[in-house]
Amino acid sequence: MSLWLRWSLCFALLLPVQAQSRDLQTQVEGIRSVSQVKGQLKGLLESQKECGVGICVDALSTGVCDLVGALDIRVDGKIIGEASGFTDKVLPITAPDLKLMKLIWSQCKPTNYLYTNYPSVVHVGYNPSAKAAATVDKALKVAP
Amino acid sequence: MRRRDLMRQGIAACACGCAGSTQGQTLPLVVPNFTWDYYDPSNILIQETAYLAEMSLDGLLPNSNLPLLPIAQLNNIDWYATQDIPSLMMMQIDQVPGLETELTNLGYTIPCVTTRYGCDYTLTTLGQVEGLNWDYLYKFPSVLNLTLGELPSLAGLTFAMMPGLGTLPFSQIFQSLTGIPLPLFVGLFPSMVEVVARRVQRGDAAIFAIDRGHPWHTGEYRYLNSNMRVKLDTITTEVPGTATFHLEILICPFPGICFWSPPLPWPTAYEQSYALYIPPGINNFIPVYPPPVVYNPNRNIPANPGNNPLDPGDCSGCYGVAMQAYATAISQIEGGYASVGIWIARYRTRPLGRYQYLGSRSDVRAVILQNPGGAAFLAKVDSGVRPSGQEVLKNFTPAQQDSLFRTDTCNNLKIASGQIDPTTGQPFTGDRLIERAAQIHFSGPSRARIDWGRSDDLGRLSVYGYGKTALANYKRALAKLSCSRT
């Protein structure tokens, strides 16, 4: 991921709460534990296997990265490692889970695919290599 | 009408002096290889060909039955408001037999014109009837029975100004005007080359030029004669589309030794404002093209779902859903016929075409394999190599995409109609049926994902949101079809 994009993504996550949409704020504040996020990620990845069209893959991929980005706020920037201090209650995260989340985040790649469905041209989606996908699927117990 | 007549009228305008034109040379014409599988030229609309769209109707009057053509026989007429028929509102009511009765029956108040003999209704014009401007023509059979020739000020009108003429397929214009089926590609418009942009939603799905009704893709040559050829280099995607060309001349310094010159300048063309003259060759020879696809005059009769390509104005569908509008709705979210999606390494495939079906789908693969070269194309897609838009169009043709979509959609609607709408406790119907069918297109038929993402973790684009967007798009598209008003 290019530096400017990493910065822009991080900047987006660092926007003042009142400048963000209520949905996004709710999403971040709705995270109560890492295991909850892992369950949601599992659901997204299993759903993605049933996709028949590109937009389905794209939306669910974006959902994966959104979730990890949101979790990063709640674990005080330990995943992305760019910023901290944006949550009142820092959630604990184990080393294996942190490693897993970092792996997922590393597979979040910028794309302008189907940009018409997003408020900006570029967004990020979880588009892993085959090796990374296998590792993540195994860790999350994603059904084949 | 012969070509020279058209040229006299300026239809076959020669751009920038036709520097490359060498009509009459005796060298044999090299017939270029035309591709045929991209787009059905018989469906190109008049309004998409600038020179015809802006052509004055009276230019055709002496040679056609245009003045005798009843308005009602304009196959593609959108049932626009009466005010959209130029000069119709200037007509006096008594000039339209039967109109006074129709107006009265519909509850209109016909104002009278005061004369020295009293109140005279016969002098009242349509424009003086309050509220009539906004009513649709189908309410007034008497108006539809008017012929074009009965409209005041017909001379000076253009195709583009007449609803129903502008939206008439290019290939059918003479059939409509004369009543005689006359294919486009037998020399009526031998010199037409138009830059036409086919756009889908906000993006540009596919851009190409039209040479005598045939697609002219970038990188292809058209031969002015055996010694001169023009290559279409680029067509840009902005609005209006811009096409750049270059000219090459065959140079033969010695007998038997010939080569094409380096690129020479050729005028840039702009969408809907340009025609390039390509002469027909010796003895008025015109290259033989495949027969055009015959326009379906019964386009409003429901077609057999799954078999026929979608057709502009087609109101056929499944479960009461107009397929043309629905396809438009989905493609506005997805892409165009030539769209190539991202490489999805996890599934080793790419989304392809107007509806962005994954290339890994068995039904998609079965369709593609029907085409020569389909297996090689799939191998290319599976390997991660990005195919070009042209390759998609060749191996997963628009007709195949539409046919697959129609079948798939009918199946989705069938599934959706058998599911229970959680908001009502009843089976999905009406708008919700459309939403749910779109949701299934998005994320599959699982009941667990009905309205999924309404308030949870799918990010900006949810199953629920997709259904809502598709429905909104559908309604907008449907409003443009005649079936929405009948």
How many Å lie between the alpha carbon of A70 and the closest alpha carbon of chain B? 10
Interface confidence, given as ipTM, is 0.79
Instruction: Say if B307 falls within a structural domain.
Output: no
pLDDT given for residue B153 in this prediction = 66
pLDDT given for residue B450 in this prediction = 77
Contacts with B466 from chain A: Cβ below 8 Å? 55, 59
Q: Is the CA virtual torsion B161, B165, B171, B173 positive or negative? A: negative
Q: Does B80 touch chain A (CB under 8 A)?
A: no
Angle at B234 between CA B231 and CA B235, to 5 degrees: 120
Indicate the number of domains in chain A.
Answer: 1
Instruction: Say if B306 falls within a structural domain.
Output: no
Instruction: Say if B300 falls within a structural domain.
Output: no
- Closest Cβ opposite residue B346 in set A44, A67, A133: A133
Contacts with A30 from chain B: Cβ below 8 Å? 457
Instruction: Say if B302 falls within a structural domain.
Output: no
Q: Are residues B271 and B372 in the same domain?
A: no
- The pLDDT confidence band at residue A78, using thresholds 50, 70 and 90, is very high
The reply to whether residue B351 touches residue A57, judged by beta carbons under 8 angstroms, is yes
Q: Are residues B14 and B70 in the same domain?
A: no
Q: Are residues B111 and B32 in the same domain?
A: no
Indicate the number of domains in chain B.
Answer: 3
Interface residues of A toward B, Cβ cutoff 8 Å, are 23, 27, 30, 40, 44, 47, 50-60, 62-63, 66-67, 111, 113-114, 116-119, 127-130, 133
Instruction: Answer with the one of B143, B168, B193 that is the final residue of a domain.
Output: B168
Q: Are residues B154 and B194 in the same domain?
A: no
* Rounded-to-integer distance, Cα B39 and Cα B214, Å: 8
Q: Are residues B334 and B383 in the same domain?
A: yes
Instruction: Answer with the one of B168, B201, B219 that is the final residue of a domain.
Output: B168
* Rounded-to-integer distance, Cα B88 and Cα B145, Å: 13
Each residue's pLDDT, cut to its tens digit, for chain B (486 residues) gives 222 222 222 222 222 222 233 333 222 333 232 222 223 444 455 555 544 556 666 655 455 566 677 777 665 455 556 666 767 888 888 888 888 888 888 888 888 777 777 777 777 888 888 877 666 677 788 888 888 778 776 666 776 677 666 666 555 555 445 444 433 333 333 333 444 433 322 333 334 455 544 556 677 776 666 666 778 787 665 555 566 778 787 777 777 777 788 888 776 665 443 333 333 333 433 333 333 222 222 322 222 222 233 344 557 778 888 888 888 888 877 777 888 889 998 888 999 988 889 999 989 999 999 888 888 888 888 888 888 888 888 899 888 888 898 888 998 999 999 998 888 888 999 899 999 999 888 877 777 677 776 544 444 567 787 888 888 888 877 777 666 543
- Structural domain harbouring B415: 317-485
Instruction: Say if B115 falls within a structural domain.
Output: yes
Element (H, E) at B114: strand B113-115
Q: Does B468 touch chain A (CB under 8 A)?
A: no
Q: Which of residues 158-197 of B touch A (CB under 8 A)?
A: none
Which residues contact residue A139 at a Cβ distance below 8 angstroms, ignoring those fewer than 6 apart? Answer: A96, A100
Q: Are residues B112 and B34 in the same domain?
A: no
Q: List residues bridging with B246 in a β-sheet.
A: B231, B265
Instruction: Say if B305 falls within a structural domain.
Output: no
Candidates A55, A74, A104, partner chain B, best to mutate (most B CBs within 10 A): A55
* Rounded-to-integer distance, Cα B135 and Cα B138, Å: 9
Q: Are residues B159 and B252 in the same domain?
A: no
Q: Name the H helices within B145-272.
A: 173-178
Q: Are residues B136 and B211 in the same domain?
A: no
Instruction: Say if B299 falls within a structural domain.
Output: no
pLDDT given for residue B454 in this prediction = 53
pLDDT tens sequence across A36-74: 999 999 988 988 888 888 888 888 898 899 899 999 999
How many Å lie between the alpha carbon of A57 and the closest alpha carbon of chain B? 8
* Rounded-to-integer distance, Cα B228 and Cα B99, Å: 60
Which residues contact residue B430 at a Cβ distance below 8 angstroms, ignoring those fewer than 6 apart? Answer: none
Instruction: Answer with the one of B135, B168, B201 that is the final residue of a domain.
Output: B168
Instruction: Say if B311 falls within a structural domain.
Output: no
